[in-house]
Amino acid sequence: MELYQGSLDIKSIFSRWLDEERESNYGAFIPFIGTIRAENNIEALSFDIYEPILESWFNGWVERAKKRGAKVKMAHSIGDVPVHTSSYISAVFSPKRRVALELIDEFVEDFKANAPIWKYDILDGRRIYAEDRSTPMSGSGILASKEDN
Amino acid sequence: MVKIEFLGPIEQESLEIEANSLKDVANFLQNIESINSWLDRCAVAVNSQMCNDLSKKLNSGDVVSILPPVCGG
């Protein structure tokens, strides 16, 4: 897992990953790239990351992929990422296409739901939490419980 | 003492409280109005491990992290 300040140089990351796996004998390689769209007048998106939990979340996926003979990689931005540049790249490498196609779907969806990353719109120089696009993580709400033990 | 840290957009400095379990942390945070409004949407980690068990015992020096809704990518 790789974290960078600001926009990702996806061509260089993508190229290096290809080189790293050149002789690993994987037959299928599927990248997913997330790019910031110009919408609602935003200048950029901005990201906070809690690295210890992101690391353990990602390591869980490394193990899950390994059991299916596959490998996952990802890189993400920290801080401001201007529109039309990229904040996220992940990729699955596997011996055959079926596992790669399934795994990239599961991995990216779980990433959206459970990776400890917070997104903000940068609008008129202000940093506004993207609350309406955010998802409560698994297990959310336990501290709101009123029941007595 | 147990340290409680608030991640992402929750604008609250870390707190240190006496707590024997996550239940004690829940009771404490429910009485802080600005935090209570977040709690139904927040997940919890203890020492960087996600935790869904309110009866989880805590020891002095443990760090409880409060994680609001996420959106990576």
**Count: domains in chain B:** 1
- Do the Cβ atoms of B39 and A129 come within 8 Å? no
- Do the Cβ atoms of B39 and A136 come within 8 Å? no
Distance between start and end Cα atoms, chain B: 36
Domain A2-131 has CATH 3.40.47.10: no
Q: Looking at the domain assignment, is residue B47 inside a domain?
A: yes
How far apart CA A81 and CA A42 sit, in angstroms, is: 11
Q: Looking at the domain assignment, is residue B9 inside a domain?
A: yes
How far apart CA A78 and CA A6 sit, in angstroms, is: 6
- ipTM rounded to 2 decimals: 0.93
Taking each helix axis as running N to C, give the angle between helix A97-114 and helix A51-67, from 0 to 180 degrees, rounded to the nearest 10.
160
The pLDDT value given to residue A148: 53
pLDDT in tens, B4-61: 999 999 999 999 999 999 999 999 999 999 999 999 999 999 999 999 999 999 999 9
Question: Residues A7-21: what's their mean pLDDT?
Answer: 97
The pLDDT value given to residue A91: 98
The pLDDT value given to residue A45: 98
The pLDDT value given to residue A149: 46
- Do the Cβ atoms of B45 and A53 come within 8 Å? yes
Q: Looking at the domain assignment, is residue B59 inside a domain?
A: yes
pLDDT in tens, A75-131: 999 999 999 999 999 999 999 999 999 999 999 999 999 999 999 999 999 999 999
Measured in angstroms, the CA of A89 and the nearest CA of chain B are apart by 8
pLDDT score of A132 more than 80 = yes
CA nearest neighbour of A111 among A55, A48, A32, A57: A57
pLDDT score of A59 more than 90 = yes
Return all residues near A76 (Cβ < 8 A) that are at least 6 apart. Answer: A1, A2, A3, A4, A8, A47, A49, A54, A87, A88, A115, A117, B72, B73
The pLDDT value given to residue A4: 98
Identity of the amino acid at A108: V
Q: Looking at the domain assignment, is residue B73 inside a domain?
A: no
Collapsing DSSP to helix, strand or coil, B16 comes out as strand
> What is the residue extent of each domain of chain A?
2-131
How far apart CA A89 and CA B50 sit, in angstroms, is: 24
Q: Which residues of B7-20 are buried (b: 16+ CB within 10 A; e: fewer)?
A: bbbbeeeebeeebe
Q: Looking at the domain assignment, is residue B72 inside a domain?
A: no
The pLDDT value given to residue B12: 95
For residue A147, what pLDDT band results from cuts at 50, 70 and 90?
A: low
Q: Which domain holds residue B27?
A: 2-67
Comparing CB atoms, the residue among B7, B23, B73 nearest residue A50 is: B7
How far apart CA B24 and CA B38 sit, in angstroms, is: 17
pLDDT score of A25 more than 50 = yes
How far apart CA B3 and CA B11 sit, in angstroms, is: 16
Question: Residues A21-36: what's their mean pLDDT?
Answer: 96
Tell me the CATH number at B20. 3.10.20.30
Q: Looking at the domain assignment, is residue B11 inside a domain?
A: yes
Pairing assessment for the beta strands A28-35 and A44-49 based on DSSP bridges:
unpaired
Count CB atoms within 10 A of the CB of residue A90: 23
pLDDT score of A145 more than 90 = no
User: Which residues of chain A are within 8 Å of residue B22 when distances are taken between CB atoms?
Assistant: 142-143
Burial of B23 (0-12, 13-18, 19+ CB in 10 A): buried
Count CB atoms within 10 A of the CB of residue A81: 26
